[in-house]
Amino acid sequence: MSEMRIRSDFWERYLDIVRDCLIPYQWGVLTNRIVCSTPSYAVRNFKIAAGAEEGEFSGFVFQDSDLYKWLEAVGNLLAYEKDPELERKADEIIGYIAEAQEADGYLNTYFQLKEPEKKWSNLLECHELYCAGHLMEAAVAYARGTGKDRLLGTACRLADCIHRVFGWEEDKLHGCPGHQEIELGLLKLYDWTGEDRYLKLASYFLEIRGTNSYFEEEFERRGRISHWTQGPVEEPNRHYNQYPYSYYNQFHAPVRCQTEAVGHAVRAVYMYTAMAKAAVLCKDEELLRTCKSLWKNIAETQMYITGNIGSTPSGEAFTRAYDLPNDTNYSETCASVGLIRFSMEMLKAELDSCYGDVIEKALYNTVLAGMAVDGRHFFYVNPMEAVPEICEANPERNHIKTVRQEWYSCACCPPNIARTITDIRSLICSVSGSRICIHQYIGSELEAETGEGAIRFSLASDFPWDGRAKIRILQADGVYGEFALRIPGWCIGCRLAINGQKVRPEDFDTERGYLMVKRVWKAGDLLDWVMDMEPHFIQADRRVYYNAGKAALVRGPLVYCMEEADNGSCLHECRVDAAGDIREKWEKDMGGYCSLFIAGVRYRGRIQEKLYDRLAVQKEDVCLKAVPYFLWNNRGQGEMVTWVNVV
């Protein structure tokens, strides 16, 4: 595909927020021009390493990655539209990054400035390879967006340095990253450069994992010293949940033997994404089968209705199938970003609408919820319900914030949101032979090179508010092609018209949730595809006992929630009439959205002298208002609930 442009009011608005608010705000924080309660120091560290400033390293050991993700988002933005001033800022910092790089290609400001004698000595905890992977992803995005290769050259020199240090050869280190990411960076570098050694190195980092005792050996070599405590500890890392740290870091078994998602959710899905991509590049069916098992385990047993994952704050981790609490879950924004990427690689490996459904859930609900509409405040954790005073007082819930934060000392989520939204076009469609697969109904215009020739077309939609999508052929000189249209899981009915003539969808072939429209196309042809988007209630599998007797309200891809701002406090007293009518209303605030009104009953309790007293509940009929989950907490602090008791 080439020359893709976004033509969606919804997504153009979010791209504007990222370009005009989030990117400048992040730049201000990263350069310490904007003073937050948790300073970044990221740019300052590179200036010191480049010899442009005096000082010492500050921040976390992985601080470099925040700047790399910012550069990746900038590269994505510049591919849409040139911005000389933004490009100038990026080029300036790229200069510091390049100057900071050592002669052998090594680059990591923490170890260069603070512990140069300890390079590659603590792969488990210290994120050297993680940061390197983010540099590689940023370099490819910036080269694609600007045509400039200085950052790309820096990334390749670092990749070559790592290639000289790690590998199967006897004279190399046989370790792998504690926090997976370099595998993805190397695979993107391979895509862009065609250098086979980057593909082989990525495969090495995947295949060595869980096959040796390297992490334990390096732990002994450094005198059992932990980076995080700066003192001796009994084991390389502590237990998380009921599981040892090998599960937390996904090296409890070789990757090909893993069938259930375990441990730190972000680390897991980053690794699974790389596995899926490597499986396709290497035509490795066995590895792809492993990826299918892992993806199915997540999507069918460990994923929230909003597409977020990681149900416990203990290790930001998965626990077990169907353990999906609503008021203590972690559900890091970055984990949903990783799940989107994993699902997209699976979708490119095999056409199946289930992958597109999960991308849609995570994107429209959790990822967007991670950022306020002002582009300057963020959620790290995404609960399904929250009561502010309880979250503040209860140590089991104090990871849940009921007001988005201005920044985080561990600021992985804000730049992850930026690079995901700016790369939204990569999720819309893919081309295979003569088939053009439409995965997400995001208004856009693009040209696809099929096996039969070029087809230029537009996709018009008012998604996610309306289920109609119009595909108009702008240029095609009698080219045969197949349009594969995803039938979303939420769609209870669909209609199709071709050039104004209604046709029956059932007369067309379907393949794994995609409707196939095959014909010879010419300029002016129009596909009018309508997917019914009626609001309705959803129930959870009975094994998710937290949701017994409860229902969630959805409309199209959007999950809805109730907020105190509309319904008053004590939302736990409310019950909905799931069989009643649901009324829609278009609201103009917060950029415009569709709200839903439903009949319900409030079982109003009382404030009483005794903590426990005789039952005397007052019932009252109420009309409850629900708003899209991704917009919650944009109107002030208050209670929120997603799964609501049913009358």
Cβ neighbourhood burial of 623 (10 Å; 0-12, 13-18, 19+): exposed
Q: Which of 183, 316, 482, 564 is catalytic?
A: 316
Query: Which of 67, 68, 72 lies closest to 28 in space, CA to CA?
Result: 67
Residue that is written with structure tokens 């595809």 in the block: 529
345-400 pLDDT tens trace: 999 999 999 999 999 999 999 999 999 999 999 999 999 999 999 999 999 999 99
Q: Is 483 exposed, middle or buried (0-12, 13-18, 19+ CB in 10 A)?
A: buried
Residue among 67, 66, 154 nearest 104 (CA): 154
Same fold, 2-427 and 429-531: no
CA distances, 426 to each of 16, 66, 446, 536 (Å):
18, 22, 12, 30
Mention every residue, 6+ apart, whose C-beta is less than 8 A from residue 621: 599, 600, 601
Residue 516 φ/ψ, nearest 5 degrees? -100, 120
pLDDT per position as a tens digit, 40-99: 999 999 999 999 999 999 999 999 999 999 999 999 999 988 999 999 999 999 999 999
Q: Could you state, in order of their start, the residue ranges of all structural domains in the chain? A: 2-427, 429-531, 536-646
Whether residue 22 contacts residue 407, with contact meaning beta carbons closer than 8 Å, is answered with: no
H-type helices in 282-435, by residue range? 285-301, 333-349, 353-361, 368-369, 388-393, 413-422
Token readout for 14 is 């979010």
| 407-424 mean pLDDT | 93
Asked which of 103-117, 231-245, 338-352, 566-580 is least confident by mean pLDDT, the reply is 231-245
Q: How far is CA 285 from the centre of its chain?
A: 26
Q: Are 151 and 67 in contact (CB under 8 A)?
A: no
Distance CA 384, CA 394 (A): 17
Which architecture does CATH list for 2-427?
Answer: Alpha/alpha barrel (1.50)
* Beta strands 514-522; 477-486: pairing state: antiparallel
Q: Are 190 and 89 in contact (CB under 8 A)?
A: no
Token digits of residue 295: 């993806």
- Distance between CA 444 and CA 475 in Å, rounded? 15
pLDDT in tens, 434-469: 999 999 999 999 998 888 899 999 999 999 999 999
The contacts of residue 627 (CB under 8 Å, 6+ apart) are 560, 561, 562, 563, 566, 587, 593, 595, 596
Q: Binning pLDDT at 50, 70 and 90, where does residue 542 land?
A: very high
> Any idea which residue has 């990826």 for tokens?
291
- Residue 76 to residues 193, 376, 393, 469, Cα–Cα distance (Å): 18, 19, 41, 25
Architecture of domain 429-531: Sandwich (2.60)
Instruction: Name which of 241-250, 295-304, 413-422 the model is least confident about.
Output: 241-250
Q: Is there a catalytic annotation at residue 260?
A: no
Confidence tier at 2 by pLDDT (50, 70, 90): low
**pLDDT tens readout for residues 293-320:** 999 999 999 999 999 999 999 999 999 9
Q: Indicate if the alpha-carbon torsion angle 400, 365, 625, 17 is positive or negative.
A: positive
Quickly tell me which residue has 């409707």 as its tokens.
515
Instruction: Please check the confidence at residue 520 and state whether its pLDDT lies above 80.
Output: yes
Is 412 labeled as catalytic in the residue annotation? yes
Q: Specify the pTM.
A: 0.97
Among the listed residues 161, 391, 412, 491, the single catalytic one is 412
Which is nearest to 20 in space by CA: 87, 88, 86, 90? 86
CA atoms within 13 A on the CB side of 293: 13
Q: What is the mean pLDDT of the chain?
A: 95
Integer Rg of the chain from CA: 25
Q: Is 75 exposed, middle or buried (0-12, 13-18, 19+ CB in 10 A)?
A: buried
Q: Residues near 422 by Cβ (< 8 Å), separated by ≥ 6?
A: 15, 18, 73, 76, 77, 80
Q: Could you tell me the two tokens for 275?
A: 């596995």
pLDDT tens across 590-606, in order?
A: 999 999 999 999 999 99
Q: What is the mean pLDDT of residues 201-218?
A: 97
What is the C-alpha to C-alpha distance for residues 406 and 413, in angstroms, rounded to an integer?
12
Is the CB of residue 420 less than 8 Å from the CB of residue 427? no
pLDDT at 238: 74
Q: What is the dihedral of CA 399, 329, 177, 148, to 10 degrees?
A: -80
Interatomic CA distance for residues 127 and 107, integer angstroms: 12
pLDDT of residue 369: 97
